[in-house]
Structure 1
Amino acid sequence: MRFRGLDLNLLGAFDVLIQERSVSSAARKLNLSQPAMSAALARLREFFGDDILIVHGKRMFPTSFAERLAPQVRQILGEVDEMLANRGQFDPATTHRTFRLIASDYIVAAVIVPLIERLSIESPGIMLELAAPTERGPDEIAAGVADLMISPDYYIMGEHPSELLFEESHVVVGWQGNPLLDAPLTLQTFLGAGHVGVRIGAQRQQSFADRAMSVMGHSRRIEVETHSFLTIPLLLEGTQRLALMQARLAERLSRQYPLQAQPLPFDFPVMREMMQYHTTRQNDLGLTWLKSLLKRQSEVA
């Protein structure tokens, strides 16, 4: 379909090209051949009278014109996506829809896993596509690539709506055979022990717990760092190491592993887990249903 001479299919190609900054990567994402993607870029260049992407070294970079155009294209595609998602009435029992969620393994284990059995029975046509949090998460929400990002509030962007999913407290965890947990921990014992820490994403960002500890001025002796909250029990077993863990996750993992939890020996801030989505998805009936489902599950988790 053409509008004022522009093949509207090229808008989707433009959006992916700007995100990937690579013809071959954009082709793979759109399930096209590389020659077809190159042809789409050539047609975009001809229509707009701009290079769109220019090669520098071994990489491609958007032109200033393309960078100015990109937010407008994403807005248009987001509004079209919302229109298609809201055609007719949303019926979770009969719909066939994929929701892409950005969520840590902690959120998956504590909130999403308990939903899976229910969804398979009540909403068999719905698919949840789960992606681990990375530094690109906010950009994927802004680009409309992801439907929902669940994250602590300090990762949330101001330009798109968000709402509270739940508040979470933290506990100290260790192996059930750890003698340090035979009595209530003191701050001195806690800080003197070896610890397991968590770093998230390719840039190894601090988890909420480690970030809070740094702000409070407490320095732990980290002996092991992991990328996954779910590996913490394995790294604690048979040792005297300790770790900070979300209370919901500690309760759930203690059913599977020899894990013991204690309250922290000092005041610790509450973590606010938020749900963020693109502005154009505010009236998305399917996303509204999913958010309410996640909220109800978080209340019983």
Structure 2
Amino acid sequence: MNINKIDLNLLIYLDVLLREKNVTRAANQLNITQPAMSNGLKRLRNLFNDPILVRTSDGMVPTERSQALAPVIRKILLELEEALQSEDNFNPATSDRVFRLMASDYAASTLVPKLLSNLSKIAPNVSIDIMTPSDINFHDVEAGKVDMAINRFEELPQSFHQKTLWHDSFTCLMASDNPTSKRFGLQSYLRGKHIWVSKTGFGVGVGMDPKDVQKLGWVDEALAKIGEKRDIRVFTRNYNVAIQLALEDQLIATLPSKAAARFVNAPRFTLLDPPFEIPKIELKMIWSPLLHHDASHIWFRQKVLEAAHEC
């Protein structure tokens, strides 16, 4: 194979095809027509003398040759992207850049308000497009379609850059007239009625089963370790909903402390430490290697870190 005859676009096509494993999705990501993508796949097959993708009962599957090529092609494209990045200085005072940010409900209610307040003073024309975890997936982040994702992640692709923003403890939030708050302890906590709030990640969630402790997460796993379980009456994926239900329906919401702290001085709420030990959670920001050396992105990452330290 003569490298001088290789069309760089074919390497881009190959990279996207191997990640999407679908001609239509790959075409949509590259903003080209499906016939153009199909023609690109045909040219790739001729170039490498390999089917690249084969159809099976599980859909399109990469061949052994193309699987070996995938990390090599990805590395080449990432290095080229970094080399071509503009070295022009970024001026936040005059920029009208839109930063696309995936933030969990927890991050959106704790970190984002402080971030916006800070940006309004130094970058008045910069905008933030906030998306939820179900709006995007890891491929969107890796491809640079999203500037940053902020959430609690259990597993991450190795290609991502990441930074821990903070570790947070838990707080029990309930209405001030909730009888549970009067003599608060483990037994009164267990006798109370509870709200469960999702530990959201990427993708669409599934229905919850109160008997499945592994899916319920940190609070219920901590209770299980001491041989106890709570009476969950409501499952929600939204912290603001959980807080409102705690106020109106005499329920207990056990939340990350930074989310509950917004109501520490609200007379209608009582905030108490959990009567058992719950491991702290970690909030991270992640971003694509494609954006790592971009001047505006470097500036934005710094502003996110500063806001996190002020929360």
TM-score (norm 2): 0.78
Shift of 1:197: 1.4
Contact 1:156 1:162 in 2 (8 A): no
Structure 1: 5+ residue runs without aligned partners?
none
Secondary structure of the residue aligned to 2:194 is strand
Contact 1:233 1:257 in 2 (8 A): no
Larger displacement relative to structure 2 (186-195 or 88-97): 88-97
Q: Which amino acid aligns with 1:191?
A: L
- Cα distance between partner residues in 2 of 1:37 and 1:265: 58
Shift of 1:139: 5.7
Shift of 1:196: 1.4
Contact 1:184 1:262 in 2 (8 A): no
Aligned residues: 298
Correspondence 1:46 to 2:56: no
Identity %: 30
Shift of 1:172: 0.5
CA, structure 1 residues 57+281, in 2 after alignment: closer, same or farther (shift >3 Å)? same
TM-score (norm 1): 0.81
Contact 2:103 2:130 in 1 (8 A): yes
Contact 1:11 1:73 in 2 (8 A): yes
Contact 1:147 1:277 in 2 (8 A): yes
CA, structure 1 residues 121+9, in 2 after alignment: closer, same or farther (shift >3 Å)? farther
Q: Which amino acid aligns with 1:225?
A: F
Secondary structure of the residue aligned to 2:111 is helix
Instruction: Give the structure 2 partner of residue 295 of structure 1.
Output: 305
Secondary structure of the residue aligned to 2:166 is strand
Instruction: Give the structure 2 partner of residue 202 of structure 1.
Output: 204
Correspondence 1:108 to 2:112: no
Contact 2:111 2:308 in 1 (8 A): yes
Secondary structure of the residue aligned to 2:172 is strand
Contact 2:148 2:287 in 1 (8 A): yes
Shift of 1:121: 5.6
Deviations 1:273-294 (A, max 9, x none): 2333455655443333222211
Shift of 1:112: 1.5
Contact 1:54 1:60 in 2 (8 A): yes
Deviations 1:91-127 (A, max 9, x none): 3234454544343111112111332354356335644
CA, structure 1 residues 283+249, in 2 after alignment: closer, same or farther (shift >3 Å)? same
Instruction: Give the structure 2 partner of residue 8 of structure 1.
Output: 8
Secondary structure of the residue aligned to 1:275 is strand
Larger displacement relative to structure 2 (77-86 or 290-299): 77-86
Secondary structure of the residue aligned to 2:133 is coil
Instruction: Give the structure 1 partner of residue 251 of structure 2.
Output: 241
Instruction: Give the structure 1 partner of residue 209 of structure 2.
Output: none
Correspondence 1:229 to 2:239: yes
- Cα distance between partner residues in 2 of 1:166 and 1:144: 24
Structure 2: 5+ residue runs without aligned partners?
207-214
CA, structure 1 residues 190+121, in 2 after alignment: closer, same or farther (shift >3 Å)? same
Deviations 1:151-203 (A, max 9, x none): 3364456665533212212101123442222x252011112222211333435
CA, structure 1 residues 44+158, in 2 after alignment: closer, same or farther (shift >3 Å)? closer
CA, structure 1 residues 104+224, in 2 after alignment: closer, same or farther (shift >3 Å)? same
Instruction: Give the structure 2 partner of residue 80 of structure 1.
Output: 80
